[in-house]
Chain A
Amino acid sequence: MSRVGKIARRTFLIGSAAIAGGVAFGVYAARQPFDNPNLDDLPEGAASFNPWVIVDSEKVTLIAPHADKGQGIFSAQAALIAEELDIELDQVEVSFGMPDKAYYNRALTEAMAGFPLHDTSPTAERVRGFVGGVVKLAMPMMTTGGSTGVPDSYDKLRQAGATARETLKLAASRQSGVPVAELRTEAGAVILPDGTALPYTALAGLAATLPPVTDVPLRDPKEWRLVGKPMNRLDMVAKSTGTLTYGIDHRAEGMLHAAIKVNPRQGGALKGYDASAAQAMPGVKKIVEITGGVAVVADNTWRAFQAAEAIAFDWGEAPYPAEQAEHWAHLSGIFDDDHLNAEARVEGDVEAAEGEEVRGEYRSPYLAHAPLEPLNATVLVTDDRVDIWAGHQIQMFAEQVVSEITGVDQENVHLHNMFIGGSFGHRLEFDFIRQAAEIANQMRGTPVQLTYSREEDFAHDFPRHITMGRGVAKVKGGRVTALDVQIAGQSVMRSQMGRMGLSLPGPDTQLHEGAWDAPYFNLPNLRVRSYRTEALAPVSSWRAVGAGPNVFIYETLLDEAIHAAGADPLEERIRLMGHDVSVKVLEAVGELASWNGPSAGPGRGRGVAYGFSFGVPVATIVEVAATDAGIRIEKAWVVADVGKVIDPVNLENLAQGGTVFGLGHAINCEITYADGMAEQTNYHAHEGMRMYQCPEIRFKALENGAKIRGFGEPPVPPSAPALGNAIFAATGQRIREMPFNKFIDFL
């Protein structure tokens, strides 16, 4: 590995200063594409023009390497390739392919350059390009996360399709003698001027001998057949018939099933155990030790669960405060210079600004990811090869982890990525992969499927970080004149990267994400400071990460200020907003909801909130009715600007789902610790939202943004403050802490 590689691997690159400070690298090298991994085992007569397209005499295969945990990126990737390849989606086979650095995520580094994502100035773009180049050389990460699946794929996969198409045309030209310029392509075939169709499959052999045609211009979006139009997602029929194979559904000859019990005090030691009763239970094949716990291998998952329950354990203490109250007490004590993460934004002078003061303290609890498919992985270890069947979002790192455990070279460790039954960030973690490998390594030659019980899944989640916010706003003359926001929380990135053996020097931008970059440019006095701790429970990225808690804090404080100023919540936000794309989003949500102020009749209220995350401005209006039995959330209107819409139907689904996710957790959910253990053990205590609480949700997408953006996470942040603001409008009760059901009943 190069020196740059070593430096960057040890000190993950964040911010332009770190890079500009001491690293030199070749622009040329950064621009070189990685080798096409498909060429390694390509059969005779098959052609692969780039890592995403394979054509043989039988079929056309598209590689869609981003992990699909429900967001629909599998179909989106296929559509982007097929758009330029001129093939229909029912004519191709689509595969996740095998992990390779050729599939590294180009969009992931965009947020690392130290500029807010709404800043698309030449300087910001130049630094982003620089950071991207360094990271590509040092640590090309194949990963799905940070709502980057679409932005990473958008140009790259259309280019892949176009390259393949032009190369196939060249082959057709060679075969037919007709100049390329007279050829066209349609439905998986090159069409000669006389109408003869030469299927791509028939051209594969010849095309394989030609150098791929590159530098093909991309089509004008006006010509698109697939992209931008409502799609039938490729996984929809399978997901509606129970025929889709998730990781948990993988079956192999001779496969055994494993269950684990690991210290429920996260990271605590295994001091002792007695498995004699479990050993004698039906179907139990073997009981093995793993890091921090014990695994039971049996012939059936349920039998493994039963036997794991029958083991008596002596667990060590938690390496963090045992009781929840201590966690909050700790956070309330870190608003000081010693814990300063960053003074992330300063405009004007919040202290000198004049006006009536509005103060608030806000809390956002720990939250479990709890995707419906429990964590699972199937691993087969032999002496010279390991196969893993599991859904994971950082595929090659998972392979590396397994390589380290088994001693098998990473190039012989193969992760077969599977469809994922929800993640919300949990499939960025490695515990379940590590444990499955530890078990299978002690059962060499036998495929072993580890399935977490739901209780184990809750106990060993790395939840969303708890956050405490303190804010002071000033209002004068019917306007908001100043916001001073302080946010204290655990560093998610340090916690998460620490488990990957990576360190994060400098501030964790997630601690002020969604607050420092909220483009209320017309607010004359603004300060955003964040404070960092790592002394609490281990935490992980939870859908929208920092923006979730931070937008709740920021937009609730802002709403309180607007109320004190006597202004209209939507109009004042529009006035303060200095970012045109966001202004249009706010205006559009007002139109969609026919906004006429926060009052919506007796006992009814409307609240609005704006959130900027992952480059996407989203505005949400929620309407509630206060009834004798509690608050009923009746309607929500959501408008977002994603730059360019790939599939309007799927986008609407994500908007609705993200809003449900945000609202449900805001009203119903928290993880609390007692005796070092999460008190919530299953969905009865942490359900998110169920249908009866789900409002009608209307959505509109705008396309004014300068860049295409991903939408898996951005709908989440504004939903909670929009709801809290609506409850205030309906009842006069201001709720500053989630979950709201601690303070008010919901139907």
Chain B
Amino acid sequence: MRLTVNGTEHEVEVEPEMPLLWVLRDELNITGPKYGCGIAQCGACTVHVDGVAVRSCQLAIGDLAGGEVTTIEGLGQPESLHAVQQAWVEHQVAQCGYCQSGQIMQAASLLDFNPAPTDADIDAAMSGNLCRCGTYPRIRAAVKAAAQKLQGA
């Protein structure tokens, strides 16, 4: 089975029902997307498929249908941060950080669809991503800052 992740094509030999998350983590060693719940309750595994946020624990690799996958590693790297990642650093959002890959991927997707989200939009878009440490006040602020940054760009 072939798939494209962060612009690189890969060939994996797995059963079609294996979730994309586990193909990424255990077959390709791309560990930015995290396992948290396995049932779309936490959002830690969020990636983009053709630019849209998807819970990779819920997408069977056989259902990827040629979609191009972007993971947190493909969004931006430490030396070339995406605007959302930059906002996350500036607002010192993370505590344990385990959910933040998913939070950032969800926020980036939100801003792609809705460049100037209201507080209510942010609360609606981001409430599928669980943060057990409770960094929500900082996530809210960072999403707004990233929106401004992206609009100014």
Interface residues of A (CB under 8 A from B): 69-72, 230, 232-233, 235-246, 248-249, 251, 257, 282, 299-303, 305, 370-374, 419-424, 451, 453-454, 649-650, 653-654, 656-661, 664, 682-684, 687-692, 694, 696-697
Contact = CB atoms under 8 A, between A and B. Distances in A.
Contacts of A694: 134, 136-137
B134 A661 contact: yes
B130 A690 contact: yes
Contacts of A687: 41, 130
5 contacts: A241-B85, A244-B97, A682-B37, A691-B139, A692-B123
B54 interface: no
B98 A246 contact: yes
B89 A242 contact: no
Nearest first, the 9 closest Cβ-Cβ pairs linking A and B are: A242-B32, A660-B134, A70-B96, A421-B98, A239-B97, A242-B72, A657-B134, A70-B95, A302-B22
Interface string B49-81: 000000000000000000000011101111001
Given A300-B14, A682-B39, A683-B39, 9 more contacts: A69-B96, A232-B89, A235-B94, A241-B72, A241-B73, A242-B32, A421-B96, A661-B133, A697-B137
Interface string B129-141: 1111111111110
A239 B29 contact: no
B95 A301 contact: no
A240 B94 contact: yes
A240 B88 contact: yes
Given A257-B26, A374-B36, A691-B136, A239 B73 contact: no
B122 interface: yes
A372 B134 contact: no
A168 to B, nearest CB: 30
A654 B37 CA distance: 24
Given A232-B92, A240-B89, A661-B134, A372 B26 contact: no
A120 to B, nearest CB: 30
A414 B38 CA distance: 31
B31 A245 contact: yes
A230 B32 CA distance: 27
A691 B140 contact: yes
Given A232-B89, A649-B92, A690-B130, A372 B22 contact: no
B126 interface: yes
A659 B134 contact: yes
A683 B98 CA distance: 15
A519 to B, nearest CB: 27
Contacts of A661: 132-134
A246 B123 CA distance: 28
A392 to B, nearest CB: 15
Interface string B1-36: 000000000000011001101100111010111111
Contacts of B42: 372, 683
A635 to B, nearest CB: 11
B78 A421 contact: no
A454 B99 CA distance: 14
Contacts of A649: 92
Contacts of A692: 123-124, 127
A657 B96 CA distance: 11
A690 B134 contact: no
Given A372-B132, A664-B134, A694-B137, A240 B35 contact: no
Interface of B: 14-15, 18-19, 21-22, 25-27, 29, 31-39, 41-42, 44, 71-73, 75-78, 81, 85, 88-89, 92-101, 104, 122-124, 126-140
A657 B92 CA distance: 13
A233 B33 contact: no
Contact of A656 (B34, B88, B96, B135): B135
Most A CB within 10 A of own CB, among B72, B99, B134 = B134
A372 B96 contact: yes
A663 B62 CA distance: 41
A649 to B, nearest CB: 5
A423 B96 CA distance: 9
Contact of B26 (A70, A300, A684, A691): A300
B151 to A, nearest CB: 20
Contacts of B73: 241-243
A143 to B, nearest CB: 18
Contacts of A243: 32, 73, 77-78
A371 B96 contact: yes
Most A CB within 10 A of own CB, among B19, B25, B33, B78 = B25
Contact of A373 (B21, B34, B77): B34
A688 B15 CA distance: 35
A283 to B, nearest CB: 9
A373 to B, nearest CB: 5
Contact of A421 (B14, B32, B34, B139): B34
B27 to A, nearest CB: 7
B72 A373 contact: no
A282 B123 CA distance: 41
B31 to A, nearest CB: 4
Contacts of B72: 241-242
Given A241-B81, A248-B35, A422 B127 contact: no
A352 B135 CA distance: 48
B1 to A, nearest CB: 14
A683 B138 CA distance: 22
Contacts of A242: 31-33, 71-73, 101
A69 B134 CA distance: 13
A235 B32 CA distance: 14
Nearest to A236: B89
Contacts of A241: 32, 72-73, 75-78, 81, 85
B92 A239 contact: no
Contacts of A237: 78, 81, 89
A618 to B, nearest CB: 15
A361 B137 CA distance: 34
Nearest to B124: A692
Contact of A684 (B19, B41, B100, B122): B41
Most A CB within 10 A of own CB, among B29, B31, B127, B133 = B133
B130 A251 contact: no
Nearest to A661: B134
Contacts of B126: 691
A233 B130 contact: no
Nearest to A68: B96
B39 A239 contact: no
Contact of A235 (B36, B97, B122, B134): B97
Contacts of A301: 22, 25-26, 35
Contact of B132 (A235, A305, A424, A659): A424
B29 to A, nearest CB: 5
Most B CB within 10 A of own CB, among A235, A238, A241 = A241
Contacts of A300: 14, 18, 22, 26-27
